[in-house]
Copies of this chain bind each other. A is one copy, B any other.
Amino acid sequence: MSEFTHIDKEGRVRMVDVSHKEPTERVAIARGIISMNPETFEKIRNQRVKKGNVLETARIAGIMAAKKTSELIPMCHPLNITHVRINFFPDDATNSIRMEAGVRIIGQTGVEMEALTAVSVTALTIYDMCKSYDREMTISDICLVEKTGGKSGKFKRTEDRGQRGQGIDH
């Protein structure tokens, strides 16, 4: 039998049946990092002080992308998410911007993919906004930081255990 829930025991993909799962509150926090050269980093920082367009545009793109998750990821259930928030943590030492997306719902299935999609599209939008200036930007460290709710209970990424989180719950 397959251990991947989206694949049945005959190896066929399917949208896994969650019809009989109990709706519970579910939260997922995902993060990612975009690294760039010092000049690009400086420009985004300065502009953020003045008008904020690069990061604000990216934030809006990320929030809208969270709503599109089930159109993008073939086996994802369509969900009516009830909260999305995206935070930026620029790091001068590394000329990079860490992004964190938090998504919440009371539903039958988790919102990990919504949070990961939000972070990915946020990062891609930063790339798009700055690519005329720096084509070597790199997106990395896209991962699930933590999730709560559902049968599998609470998950916190190993490297983050013992730390105070920085997501929507805190």
Q: Output the residue of A50, A76, A105 with the most chain B CB within 10 A.
A: A76
* Residue contact B4 to A133, C-beta cutoff 8 Å: yes
Contacts of A80 in B (CB 8 A): 77-80
Query: Residue A141 contacts which of B2, B8, B108, B138 (CB distance < 8 angstroms)?
Result: B138
A94 touches B (CB below 8 Å): no
Chain A 122-162, CB within 8 Å of chain B: the 1/0 string? 01110111111101111111111001000000010110000
Contacts of A54 in B (CB 8 A): 4, 7
User: For the complex, what is the distance from the CA of A25 to the CA of B18, rounded to whole Å?
Assistant: 12
User: For the complex, what is the distance from the CA of A93 to the CA of B126, rounded to whole Å?
Assistant: 32
Q: Output the residue of A17, A135, A147 with the most chain B CB within 10 A.
A: A135
User: For the complex, what is the distance from the CA of A158 to the CA of B136, rounded to whole Å?
Assistant: 8
A164 touches B (CB below 8 Å): no
Contacts of A52 in B (CB 8 A): 51-52, 56
Q: Interface residue tally of chain A, by bracket?
A: 35 or more
**How near does chain B come to A37, taking the closest CB pair, in angstroms?**
11
* Residue contact B143 to A4, C-beta cutoff 8 Å: no
Query: Residue A127 contacts which of B70, B116, B130 (CB distance < 8 angstroms)?
Result: B116
* Residue contact B14 to A63, C-beta cutoff 8 Å: yes
* Residue contact B120 to A135, C-beta cutoff 8 Å: no
Known: A4-B133, A143-B138, A143-B139. A73 touches B61 (CB 8 A): yes
* Residue contact A68 to B72, C-beta cutoff 8 Å: yes
Known: A19-B82, A43-B4, A83-B18. A11 touches B73 (CB 8 A): no
A-B contact pairs, 8 of them (CB 8 A): A6-B132, A11-B51, A19-B25, A56-B56, A60-B60, A64-B72, A73-B121, A120-B121
